[in-house]
Structures are given as structure tokens and as C-alpha cells.
């Protein structure tokens, strides 16, 4: 498992609250890929990659970056990039960065266009979701690069830190979903 894949997996984990409110049908597959990354081995994720690729083939082209399917599609692309190390590392790194950036840019645009930044729950946050993601990504890359001798430990520590921020991430995800007019799954209402 390379640093690019590990950083991409951490980005997937940070996306998860948005994916939950978007009603994403393949969260279990994403969780399996992230778990495999934690074990530094994604070669056992062929089933998940096949399922995600099949799901992508079944959906219509995504044209509206404010719809839940856009966020689901981006996450499927990212999960496949993380789990299948088929392309050149620099191509994968570029594709992962672009996919993650576009996902959070769409969150920013949705919040901006529909008044999400003026909501009470957003008070006290000094940057956009993309800005937050950029800070996390930079820190991921730094810590993973510094911790090459024990990547599994660094990955686990980053996961723990991300999960500790989930309550706020879930609040922001709910604002995104409400701004988008999404049907939030009943178990998350």
C-alpha cells in the first residue's frame, strides 16, 4: 500500500458523513476498502472494486453537482482509485487529489448558493469544507511521509483523530443535505 492510497482512504473517511446523508448504497464497500488500507493491503478488495465499477456503469451521467448522486459517484471513483493500484502512482495521486477537491468544492458551492454558511450550526467555523479538507490532507501527507516505518500506526492514529471530529462533521453534512434538499435517510433524521 502506498502513501497515495492511504491518504485517499483517509479522505474517504472524512467524506463519510456527507455520504451517509446522501443515502450512499455502498458504504460497507468503502468501509472494507478503508479497513484493508489500515492493514496496508488492498489486494483483497477486488469484489468491492467490481461492485463500485458496476454501480458506476448503471447510473446516468452526473450533471448536477448539488445532487446526492454526484457525491456518491465521486466517492465511488475515489474508492476505486484507492483500492485498485492499476495506474501510475503520479496519475493516481493526481486523480485522487482532483476527485477529493471536486467533492469538497461541490459542498462549498452548495453551502454558498443555498445559505448554509449563515446557519447557526456553521458559526465558529473559520473556513469552508474544502479548506478544512486541504488542512487535513496536508497533515496526512506529512505524517504518513514521516511515519514510513510504521504506516499502519500512523494510519490508525489519523483514523482515530478523524472519528473524534465526526459529531461536527455530521452537523455540517446535515446542513449540506438540507441546503441540497436531499431526502435524508430516516435512520439519520
The whole-number pLDDT of residue 123 equals: 83
108: nearest Cα among 36, 180, 43, 45: 180
Answer yes or no: is 187 within a domain: no
pTM: 0.94
Answer yes or no: is 73 within a domain: yes
The whole-number pLDDT of residue 43 equals: 82
Q: What percentage of the chain reaches a pLDDT higher than 70? A: 99
Answer yes or no: is 154 within a domain: yes
The whole-number pLDDT of residue 126 equals: 87
Domain extent for 125: 3-181
Answer yes or no: is 189 within a domain: no
| Structural domains in the chain (count) | 1
Answer yes or no: is 11 within a domain: yes
Can you list the residues of the chain whose pLDDT is less than 50? none
Phi-psi region of 145 (alpha: psi -120 to 50; beta: other; left: phi over 0): alpha
What secondary structure, in 3-state letters, does 22-51 show? CCCCCHHHHHHHHHHHHCCCCHHHHHHHHH
Answer yes or no: is 186 within a domain: no
CA distances from 6 to 12, 123, 141 (A): 10, 32, 9
Answer yes or no: is 107 within a domain: yes
The whole-number pLDDT of residue 189 equals: 65
Answer yes or no: is 188 within a domain: no
Amino acid at each position: 500500500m502506498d502513501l497515495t492510497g492511504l491518504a485517499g482512504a483517509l479522505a474517504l473517511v472524512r467524506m463519510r458523513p456527507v455520504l451517509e446523508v446522501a443515502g450512499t448504497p455502498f458504504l460497507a464497500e468503502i468501509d472494507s476498502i478503508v479497513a484493508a488500507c489500515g492493514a496496508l493491503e488492498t489486494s483483497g478488495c477486488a469484489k468491492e472494486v467490481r461492485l463500485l465499477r458496476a454501480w458506476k456503469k448503471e447510473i446516468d451521467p452526473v450533471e448536477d453537482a448539488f445532487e446526492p448522486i454526484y457525491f456518491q459517484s465521486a466517492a465511488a471513483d475515489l474508492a476505486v482509485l484507492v483500492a485498485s493500484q492499476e495506474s501510475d502512482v503520479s496519475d493516481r495521486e493526481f486523480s485522487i487529489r482532483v476527485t477529493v477537491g471536486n467533492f469538497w468544492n461541490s459542498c462549498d458551492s452548495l453551502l454558498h448558493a443555498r445559505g448554509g454558511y449563515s446557519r447557526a450550526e456553521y458559526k465558529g467555523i473559520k473556513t469552508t469544507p474544502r479548506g478544512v479538507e486541504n488542512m487535513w490532507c496536508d497533515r496526512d501527507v506529512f505524517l504518513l511521509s514521516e511515519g514510513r516505518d510504521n504506516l499502519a500506526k500512523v494510519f490508525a492514529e489519523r483514523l482515530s483523530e478523524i472519528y473524534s471530529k465526526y459529531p461536527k462533521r455530521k452537523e455540517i453534512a446535515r446542513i449540506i443535505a438540507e441546503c441540497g434538499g436531499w431526502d435524508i435517510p430516516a435512520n439519520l433524521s
